[in-house]
Amino acid sequence: MKCSCCQKELIRNLTLRELFFSTSLRCYHCEKQFTKIDQKTACPGCGRGSTPKLCQDCHIWQQKLGFVLNNKSLYQYDEGFRQWIKAYKFTGDYRLRGAFVTELEQLLKIYRTYLICPLPLSKERFEQRGFNQVSGCLELTKVSFAPLLKRKELSPQSEKTRAERLLMEQPFLLAVTSEKIRNQKVLLVDDVYTTGRTLFHGAELLYKNGAETVKSLTFAR
Ligand SMILES: [Zn+2]
Ligand SMILES: [Zn+2]
For 34-57, write each residue's pLDDT tens digit.
Answer: 999 999 999 999 999 988 999 999
Residue type present at position 199? L
pLDDT at 158 over 60: no
Q: Which ligand is nearest to the CA of 42?
A: 2
pLDDT at 121 over 80: yes
Residue 177 CA, ligand 2 centroid: distance in Å: 31
Q: Which ligand is nearest to the CA of 33?
A: 1
Mean pLDDT estimate for the chain:
90
Residue 130 CA, ligand 1 centroid: distance in Å: 24
State in Å, rounded, how far the first CA of the chain is from the last one. 30
Residue 104 CA, ligand 1 centroid: distance in Å: 17
Residue type present at position 96? L
Q: In 40-60, which positions are buried (b, 16+ CB within 10 angstroms) versus exposed (e)?
A: eebbbbbbbbebeeebeebee
Res 69: pLDDT: 97
Residue 2 CA, ligand 1 centroid: distance in Å: 8
Q: Which ligand is nearest to the CA of 71?
A: 2
In terms of DSSP H, where are the helices of the chain?
Answer: 16-21, 28-31, 56-65, 79-85, 101-108, 123-129, 133-138, 162-168, 197-208
Q: Which of 68 and 33 is assigned the larger pLDDT? A: 68
* Cα 186 to Cα 214: distance, rounded to the nearest angstrom: 5
DSSP for residue 6: T
Res 196: pLDDT: 96
Res 49: pLDDT: 93
| Burial bucket for residue 192 (CB in 10 Å: 0-12, 13-18, 19+) | middle
Question: Residue 173 phi/psi, 5° resolution?
Answer: -130, 160
Span 37-74+103-220: which CATH code?
Answer: 3.40.50
Residue 71: pLDDT band (50, 70, 90) is: very high
pLDDT at 156 over 70: no
pLDDT at 108 over 90: yes
Res 126: pLDDT: 92
Mean pLDDT of 118-140: 94
Q: Which ligand is nearest to the CA of 34?
A: 1
Q: Which ligand is nearest to the CA of 7?
A: 1
Residue 11 CA, ligand 1 centroid: distance in Å: 10
Interacting residues of 21 by C-beta distance below 8 A, sequence separation 6+: none
Residue 34 CA, ligand 1 centroid: distance in Å: 11
Res 28: pLDDT: 82
Residue 4 CA, ligand 2 centroid: distance in Å: 31
Residue 93 CA, ligand 2 centroid: distance in Å: 31
Residue 81 CA, ligand 2 centroid: distance in Å: 20
Mean pLDDT of 177-201: 97
Do 160 and 154 touch, CB atoms closer than 8 A?
A: no
Q: Which ligand is nearest to the CA of 98?
A: 1
pLDDT at 104 over 70: yes
Give percent above pLDDT 90 in the chain. Answer: 72
* Cα 180 to Cα 177: distance, rounded to the nearest angstrom: 6
Residue 133: pLDDT band (50, 70, 90) is: very high
